[in-house]
Amino acid sequence: MLLILHPPLANPEAKPHQPLKTIGILFDLDGTLVDSLTGIAASLNRALAAEGLPTHNLDAVRGFIGNGARILVTRGAAPLDDPSLIDHLEIAFKSDYDLKWPEGTHPYPGISESLTKLHQAGHSLAVLSNKPDPFTVAIVARLFPDIPFAAVIGQKPGIPHKPHPAGAFEASRMMNRATTECVLIGDSTMDIETARAANMRAIAVPWGYHDRHALEALSPDAWIESPHALAKTIALLSE
């Protein structure tokens, strides 16, 4: 396990981060808690193929993920950008994914056990995703039925996409934690930017869908190199 700590962003109006016995932990979903690439790619390709459009391999779809369903299908349909086509593709993708997501979505090895350890240690847990809220809620309920998340928040009216901090603020409120008592763990630069915007510590993971060099360029407060190391790294941060 590699643990790299960096000082928090300077903010004269914010309370400084202090070591805490227990903390609030926000997790991204796709590429952090669950490997959903196969399921997302299959539903996207079925929606595209139904319109006679080219389909994409997993490596290409990996680069489409992270900004919500509409951006996903927009990237998949490029260079076409007709709004009515994108509307249709978004509906088709969501309809297919609603039925098929369990076939291509599973927790990363070690995630469930680490979540259990974090809960048992007294930490507050939440999920914050740019995936549509109904899918986010359904996936968390199906794959982590024994984990008592204080908040599970996906894309929905009133919660702008990450990196806007509104969802992070809402999660911290639901956990009854100040933002300076929280960390946000994710696999994308968007997660780091969200954490910074919400005055939370940013923890990056390399097992997801996004480029490590891009993550390193934003100097996250810590790295967790393996899902099995989650609980140990959080223990070091919260001593």
Copy the structure tokens of residue 40: 């997302």
Q: What is the mean pLDDT of the chain?
A: 91
Fold of 37-104: DNA polymerase; domain 1 (1.10.150)
- Cα-flanking dihedrals φ and ψ of residue 74, to 5°? -65, -45
Q: By percentage, how much of the chain surpasses pLDDT 90?
A: 85
Domain map of the chain by residue range? 24-35+107-237, 37-104
Pairing of strands 182-186, 151-155: unpaired
Three-state secondary structure string covering 96-123 = HHHHHHHHHCEECCCHHHHHHHHHHCCC
What pLDDT is attached to residue 7?
Answer: 37
pLDDT-derived band at 9 (thresholds 50, 70, 90) equals very low
Please tell me if the domain spanning 24-35+107-237 has the same topology as the one spanning 37-104.
no
What pLDDT is attached to residue 2?
Answer: 40
Residue pLDDT, tens place only, 76-124: 999 998 999 999 999 999 999 999 999 999 999 999 999 999 999 999 9
Instruction: State pTM to two decimals.
Output: 0.86
Give the residue numbers annotated as catalytic, written as ranges.
28
CATH superfamily for domain 24-35+107-237: HAD superfamily/HAD-like (3.40.50.1000)
